[in-house]
């Protein structure tokens, strides 16, 4: 994180958390599809963010959201995990020609297909860990999987829509 863009970064971080706890928390489709758009706070941090920073921010975001959901620890565990995995996933998704120096982590810069696979993959890990922890029971594996897939779809759509509102 450079000092040049630190203030907008902090504002975006807070914005997504507030969006999560006051707005998208209420949105549920058919009791199966939930939105955890707050993971965008971690997924959209600039490429230069170090793993250590990511992990700490992931934990903070998770605990904040947990406090509102009364699921202390579940979101924190899932968000810390995806924060740690983020650099590996970015490496995994490297396009054939490699990343461009000037590219930033936005949908406009990275292209829709890269952005969707990036969000989808990490959202899947996050949601699956979260729902499985909450269920704490392998007997609920199938409902958890359905919930996870439906929610990944919902979360991704919301994050993509939020990207369309960016004006840079």
Partner 1 sequence: MYKLFQFISKQRAFIMFVLLEVLSLWFFYSYNNYPNAVLFNTTNFYIAQALKTSNSIKAYSRLSEVNDTLALENQRLREALMRLQAAQLVQPKVNYKADSMVAARFQPVVAKVLDLSTNQFNNYITIDKGTADGLAPGMGVISSSGVVGKIKSCSQHLSIVISILHTEYTMSAKVRRNNEIGSVKWDGKNPELVEMTDVSRYKQVVVRDTIVTSDFNYVFPPDITIGYVTKVGVKKDMTFHDIQVRLATNFNSLSYVYVIKNKLEKELKELEEQPLNNVPSKK
Q: For binding to partner 1 (CB under 8 A), which residues are involved?
A: 21-22, 28, 31, 34, 50-52, 54-56, 58-59, 62-63, 66-74, 76-77, 80-81, 83-84, 131, 133-137, 140, 143
Q: How many Å apart are CA 26 and CA 6, to the nearest integer?
A: 30
Smallest gap from Cβ 155 to partner 1, in A, equals 14
The Cα 145–Cα 148 span in angstroms is 5
DSSP 151: H
Q: How far apart are the first and last CA of the chain?
A: 18
Please identify, using beta-carbon distances, which residue of 81 and 110 lies nearer to partner 1. 81
Q: Which is nearer to partner 1, 116 or 157 (CB)?
A: 157
Least separation in angstroms between CB 28 and partner 1: 5
C-alpha to C-alpha distance for 146 and 67, rounded to whole angstroms: 25
CB closer to partner 1, 57 vs 107: 57
């Amino acid at each position: 994180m450079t000092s040049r863009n630190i203030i907008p970064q902090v504002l975006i971080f807070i914005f997504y958390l507030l969006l999560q706890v006051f707005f998208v928390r209420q949105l549920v489709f058919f009791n199966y599809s939930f939105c955890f758009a707050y993971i965008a706070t971690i997924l959209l941090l600039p490429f230069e963010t170090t793993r250590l920073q990511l992990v700490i921010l992931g934990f903070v975001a998770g605990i904040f959201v947990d406090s509102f959901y009364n699921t202390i620890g579940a979101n924190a565990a899932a968000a810390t995990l995806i924060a740690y995995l983020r650099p590996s996933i970015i490496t995994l998704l490297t396009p054939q020609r490699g990343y461009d120096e000037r590219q930033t982590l936005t949908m406009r810069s990275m292209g829709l297909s890269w952005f969707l696979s990036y969000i989808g993959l990490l959202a899947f890990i996050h949601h699956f860990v979260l729902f499985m922890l909450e269920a704490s029971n392998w007997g609920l594996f199938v409902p958890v999987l359905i919930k996870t897939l439906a929610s990944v779809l919902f979360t991704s759509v919301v994050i993509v829509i939020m990207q369309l509102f960016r004006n840079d």
